Amino acid sequence: MSRRPLIAGNWKMNGLKADGIALADGVAAKRRAEPDLACDVLVCPPFLLVSDVARAVAGSGLAVGGQDCHAKTSGAHTGDTSPVMLKDAGCSHVILGHSERRTDHGETDAEVKAKAAAAHAAGLVAIVCIGETLAQRDGGETLEVNRRQLKGSLPEGANADNTVIAYEPVWAIGTGRVASPEQAQEVHAAIRAELVKLVGETEAGKMRILYGGSMKPENAAQLIALPDVDGGLIGGASLKVEDFWAIARNCG
Ligand SMILES: O=C(CO)COP(=O)(O)O
């Protein structure tokens, strides 16, 4: 089964307007210069920059995503952003259930599932994030934790067109400590096996599973080449045009 890799930049809460537009312009210029690139490329700016970034990359082939959304379309939810609003602002994707949201905002699997269903209803691709902590890995619970989060976070109707999974071991995020190829492949294969149960063999075979956690130009090729790794969700290295693009070029 050949799956087209996806390279997604999660800018997190970084950059002011001028920085975001410069970064978007830089990545869009790279994308325009390489129309035959072997992967899809997505940038996920902070909410306030989504519209500006969507304008900056229009027509370049780059996709734009949000970093979270509410499970409702509209209403009395102060400070929240609905999936319909993201779509309206130019997003095609939304990251959901990132470990930083699970930690900072106490998001549960059930909430992630509701958000993913809402994202699907709005026509967005949900990038559903899962991953174990260091304590869970040390406790030998890695596969069990990832299976449980996956099962709890995937809504009815999830398929390979509307859903991407991101495996992000919490201990590898922003730490410079990357999963070894063996560790990554073991978990990705377990996730795919669980997906067979949840969405059926055909969709599981087509669904992209990204690796995230200290992915850099130096380690990306090795990770992306693994049989069940279908690209990356990149934090720190997505904030530099050259680094992000070096990772995207590793997909060939
Ligand atoms: O959390 C991540 C992407 O969502 C990974 O972040 P880093 O690439 O900075 O480790």
d(CA 85, CA 79): 13
Give, for 18, the enclosing helix (H) or strand (E). Answer: helix 17-33
Alpha helices in 105-225 (DSSP H): 109-121, 134-138, 142-153, 181-199, 201-206, 217-224
> What pTM does this model have?
0.98
- 163 Cβ closer than 6 Å to some ligand 1 atom: no
201, with CB counted inside 10 A (0-12, 13-18, 19+), is: exposed
Ligand 1 pocket test, pick from 94, 233, 243, 247 with the greatest ligand atom count within 8 Å of Cβ, gives 233
Residue 24 lies in a domain: no
Position 252 pLDDT exceeds 70: no
The secondary structure of residue 236, as a DSSP letter, is G
Q: In the chain, helix, strand, coil percent, each to 5?
A: 45, 15, 40
Residue 52 lies in a domain: no
Segment 162-196, tens digit of pLDDT: 999 999 999 999 999 999 999 999 999 999 999 99
100 is catalytic: no
Residue 11 lies in a domain: no
What's the pLDDT at 251?
A: 83
Q: Whose CA is nearest to atom 8 of ligand 1?
A: 235
pLDDT, average across residues 130-141: 98
Segment 21-76, tens digit of pLDDT: 999 999 999 999 998 999 999 999 999 999 999 999 999 999 999 999 999 999 99
Residue 161 lies in a domain: yes
Residue 197 lies in a domain: yes
What's the pLDDT at 247?
A: 97
Residue 167: strand, helix, or coil? strand
Q: How many domains does the chain have?
A: 1
> For residue 162, what is the domain's CATH number?
3.20.20.70
Cβ 171 vs Cβ 138: under 8 Å: no
pLDDT, average across residues 87-96: 98
Q: How far is the CA of 176 from the centre of ligand 1 (A)?
A: 10
Q: What percent of the chain has pLDDT over 90?
A: 98
Residue 12 lies in a domain: no
Neighbours of 235 (CB within 10 A): 21
242 is catalytic: no
Main-chain phi, psi angles of 63, to 5 degrees? -100, 155
Residue type at 149 in one-letter notation:
Q
Known binding residues are 10-12, 174, 214, 235-236
Q: What is the domain range of residue 132?
A: 92-209+223-237
Residue 65 lies in a domain: no
**Active-site choice (100, 107, 132, 168):** 168
Within 13 A of 252's CA, how many CA atoms are on the CB side? Answer: 7
Residue 82 lies in a domain: no
What's the pLDDT at 2?
A: 84
What's the pLDDT at 1?
A: 59
